[in-house]
Amino acid sequence: MRRKGSAPGLPEKNRGNLNRMSLTQGKTVSTTPRFGRLDADMGDVESAILRSREFLLSQQHPDGYWCGELEADSMLEADYIFLHTLLESGDPARLQRAFTEMMRYQNEDGSWSIYPGGPGNISLSVKCYFSAKLMGLTADEPRLEKCREWILANGGVVACNTFTKMYLCALGQYDYDAVPAIPPEIVLFPNWFYFNIYEISSWSRSILVPLAIIYAKKPFKKIPPEQGIDELFVGGRANSILRLRMNRDAVFSWRNFFLILDRITHWAEAVHIRPLRKLALKRAEKWMLARLEMSDGLGAIYPAMLNAIIALRCLGYSEDDPQVIRARDEFEKLGIEQPATPDMPEPTFRMQPCASPVWDTAQVVFALGEAGVPRNDPRMIKAADWLLSKEVRHKGDWAVKVPKTEAGGWYFEFNNEFYPDTDDTAQVLLALNKVDNPRERYQIQVAERAIEWEFAMQCRNGGWGSFDKDNTKMIFQYIPFADHNAMLDPPTVDITGRILEMLASYGYTREDKRVQKAIKFIFSEQEPDGSWFGRWGVNYVYGTFLVLRGLEAIGVDHLEPQVQQAAEWIRMVQNPDGGWGETCGSYDDPNTRGVGPSTPSQTAWALLGLLAAGDDRSDSIAKGIRWLLQRQDSEGGWDESVGAGITRQALYTGTGFPRVFYLAYHMYRNYFPLLALTGYKRAMERAS
């Protein structure tokens, strides 16, 4: 489908010529392999593609979609135990299984990490320690003794983030007066006001509104003294909190301005000067109830759903109220029961942060289409129809800044009507373009609507954020309760690269001024070494691959210096085994970008980036392809785990909040390698 007024794209024959260019030499390369290089046998590549295709097709749900597990750190199980302790609910046997799952991941030094192999995290370790005590472990238990030593050595409870402290307050383990204030009056600020709630990220909005209700109501449940965690405060609980209050920098800064405002708010709370509190709570309740509709729970994400359950109970909703029942049912649906196995002698229960059916389905359909599954295959049509059924047709929070645009696009989960995002929308459009649907006219109309929505969401600097437009007011990072490092949703190059790829597939070219702005944004964000930061995947390998695919699709010449430099960076960080890997630690230390054990997903990303840059004949490509071929299992999939037995865990290559929360998408290891192998096969065919 070509938009009116758009120019034709780069002719296919010219693209083929560019693909035959050597990225490092800048000249045409012979199709004969260079001396000393061992290319993969094309028969092996084709066989691997076929096995991968069949494996993915076997995973399709009868309704037409795919949905892999989302794995995250032990915070989810710890918070699950906290919630049911606070509300005196839950299945005791399931809680015990969640506790077993949580304890699997304790580190040798006693801490818990937010990603496999990472350093201990203070907030997570305190949560897990407390949850273990709630489940019956005592302070003198060796595992807790070791954890306590680590926590005290790293600052104790006061070093935790605001969300952790709020949960501790509800069970009497921290003081509400010592937690940064989250007054519900924030929902009363008009949309034109600089500090209105639509100037913070959508996920922070859905987490903080119910949390503001909790802060206002200040729930409290008394627990037995032996379950308390006073021993985790350095120098004692009272002295530790007092020192925290007194430790304020005297110089002026936005941080200190908000700290002063925070103390004023606490003083007003103490003397009951809250003239708008009743109105604010009503407004917050109305806001929350509206977004519980047409959604798999508030925001369809774990922390917002958990907070919403507590907030409803704080507002006086009974345990058998339909709103509470539905909220809890949606929350419990995120759970996965794991039966006992030879490697796991005890059954466990774990929680997912959300579900990813739209995302996984769009990725799989696109990969299968690239891999040669016919466009009219009934399974592809069924998947496309399922995706079409998930189109957003109601205006959500995004419309506050884009009020005159018709609703369109897609969200990430099964149902989340208020929060479509630009990244899912672009990927769904790429997928739909691989299917010949009998309802062709309808599918075209949906695609046109979604593309118009995407353009309306483009930020002033030319890039795209995920859920909101121009969500970039850096001042919000200084608010005391903003220590979860995710208050904003600024434009990112990874999303922008994917959107460029999608636009190219629908006929847009570099002659479009909106495309030109996007390319300019991408080039302005390139790192000195040639890589690009990855906001939604780990990390520079992810960002660089998506940018290169977007630039290649939209017609940027492979020989542009920015493209060559990016490809050279990818080759430089290739592991000796031929694969690529990068750990979540690169978000904390950019000097480690591109460093980590090889994984199927990241190896595929690197290969896709090189292929998009016109490098189809280097040793790096040959080694990377062989790495994937050698590690494909007999069923056609790949493994992306570390450890053995009860400590076995998937490596995290997905990003929730940089430096705070990471994910293992269990299907990444399968559909991205298929895409890479297919891209390699096509490149070899063009070069022959």
What pLDDT, in 10s, does the model give residues 27-60?
A: 233 333 444 457 789 999 999 999 999 999 999 9
Asked if 468 contacts 397 with a C-beta cutoff of 8 angstroms, the reply is yes
Q: What is the pLDDT at residue 476? A: 80
Residue 269 belongs to domain spanning:
73-351
The predicted structure's pLDDT at residue 258: 54
Domain presence at residue 268: yes
The kind and range of the H/E element at 642 are: strand 641-642
Number of Cα atoms under 13 Å in the Cβ half of residue 113: 17
Shared-domain flag, residues 86 and 192: yes
Together in a domain, 55 and 179: no
Query: Residue 479: is its pLDDT beyond 90?
Result: no
What percentage of the chain has pLDDT greater than the value 70?
90
Of 311, 327, 351, which marks where a domain is finished?
351
Q: Is 256 a domain residue?
A: yes
pLDDT tier for residue 631 given thresholds of 50, 70 and 90: very high
Residues 162 and 44 reside in one and the same domain = no
Residue pair 129/148 in contact by the 8 Å Cβ criterion: yes
Does residue 152 share a domain with residue 238? yes
Distances (CA, A) of 326 to 113, 227, 289, 349, 669: 32, 30, 12, 21, 34
Q: Give the CATH number for residue 638.
A: 1.50.10.20
The CA distance from 128 to 416, in Å, is 30
Q: Is a pLDDT exceeding 70 seen at residue 599?
A: yes
The pLDDT, as a whole number, for residue 266 is 58
581 vs 16 pLDDT, higher one: 581
Reported as a single tens digit per residue, the pLDDT across 418-474 is 999 999 999 999 999 999 999 999 999 999 999 999 999 999 999 999 999 999 998
Same domain, 219 and 344: yes
Position 672 in a domain: yes
Among 324, 351, 378, give the residue marking a domain's end. Answer: 351
pLDDT-based confidence at 480, cuts 50/70/90?
confident
pLDDT value at 112 more than 60: yes
Residue 646, pLDDT score: 78
Q: pLDDT grade, residue 10 (50/70/90)?
A: very low
Query: Does the annotation count 436 as an active-site position?
Result: no
Structural domain contains residue 448: no
pLDDT number for residue 296 = 97
Q: Is residue 121 pLDDT above 50, yes or no?
A: yes
Q: Is residue 434 part of a domain?
A: no
Please tell me the predicted confidence (pLDDT) of residue 483.
Answer: 76
User: Is the confidence at residue 289, as pLDDT, over 50?
Assistant: yes
- CA dist., res. 56 & res. 181, Å (int): 48
User: Phi then psi for 396, rounded to 5 degrees?
Assistant: -115, -155
Q: How many helices (H) and strands (E) does the chain have?
A: 24, 7
- Evaluate if residue 545 carries a pLDDT over 50: yes
What is residue 408's predicted lDDT score, i.e. its pLDDT? Answer: 97
Joined together, the tokens standing for residue 567 give 């490809």
The torsion angles phi and psi of 289, rounded to 5 degrees, stand at -60, -40
Question: Distance (Å, rounded) from C-alpha 495 to C-alpha 492?
Answer: 6
Asked whether residue 55 falls in the same domain as residue 78, the answer is no
Mean pLDDT of the chain: 91
Q: Which amino acid is at 151?
A: I
- Residues 78 and 112 placed together within one structural domain of the fold: yes
* Element of type H or E holding 333: none
In a domain, 444, yes or no: no
Q: What is the pLDDT of residue 237?
A: 82
Q: What are phi and psi for residue 664, nearest 5 degrees?
A: -110, 110
Give the Å distances, CA to CA, from 411 to 213, 360, 626: 26, 12, 36
Task: Extract long-range pairs of 366-369: CB within 8 Å, 24+ residues apart.
Answer: 366/427, 366/430, 366/431, 366/434, 366/675, 367/56, 367/671, 367/672, 367/674, 367/675, 367/678, 368/53, 368/56, 368/57, 368/434, 368/674, 369/431, 369/433, 369/434, 369/435
pLDDT at position 11: 32
- pLDDT computed for residue 647 by the predictor: 81
DSSP result, 644-665: -GGG-EEPP-EEEETTTEEEEE
Task: Give the DSSP letter string of 511-569.
Answer: TSHHHHHHHHHHHHT--TTS----SSBSSHHHHHHHHHHHHHHHT--TTSHHHHHHHHH
Q: Which residue has the higher pLDDT, 274 or 554?
A: 554
Q: Given a cut of 50, is residue 187 above it in pLDDT? A: yes
The reply to whether 643 falls in a domain is: yes
Say if residue 630 is in the same domain as residue 651.
Answer: yes
- Do 56 and 194 share a structural domain? no
List the single range of 187-196, 239-248, 265-274 with lowest mean pLDDT: 239-248
Q: Residue 9 — pLDDT band, cuts 50, 70, 90?
A: very low
User: Are 51 and 77 within one domain?
Assistant: no
Q: What angle do CA 414, 370, 372 make, to 5 degrees?
A: 110
**End position of a domain, from candidates 335, 351, 367:** 351
User: Among residues of the chain, what percentage have pLDDT more than 90?
Assistant: 82
For 316-326, write each residue's pLDDT tens digit. 999 999 999 99
What is the pLDDT at residue 381? 98
What mean pLDDT is predicted for residues 672-686?
96
Considering the domain architecture, whether residues 551 and 647 belong to the same structural domain is answered as: yes
Question: Is there a contact between 425 and 398 (Cβ–Cβ < 8 Å)?
Answer: no
Phi, psi dihedral angles at 277 (to 5 degrees)? -60, -45
What's the structural domain count of the chain? Answer: 2
CB neighbour list of residue 218: distance below 8 Å, 6 or more residues apart? 169, 176
Question: What is the rounded CA–CA span in Å between residue 355 and residue 535?
Answer: 19
Supply the pLDDT for residue 242: 62
User: Does 235 score more than 60 pLDDT?
Assistant: yes
pLDDT for the residue 89: 96
Give me 593's structure tokens: 């970008």
Q: Among the listed ranges 3-12, 98-107, 276-285, 399-408, which one has the minimum average pLDDT value?
A: 3-12
Tokens of 498: 């994917």
Residues 48 and 81 in one domain: no
Q: What is the pLDDT of residues 612-622, one digit of tens each?
A: 999 998 999 99
Amino acid at 273: I
- The one catalytic residue in 262, 296, 421, 423 is 423
- Domain membership flag for residue 574: yes
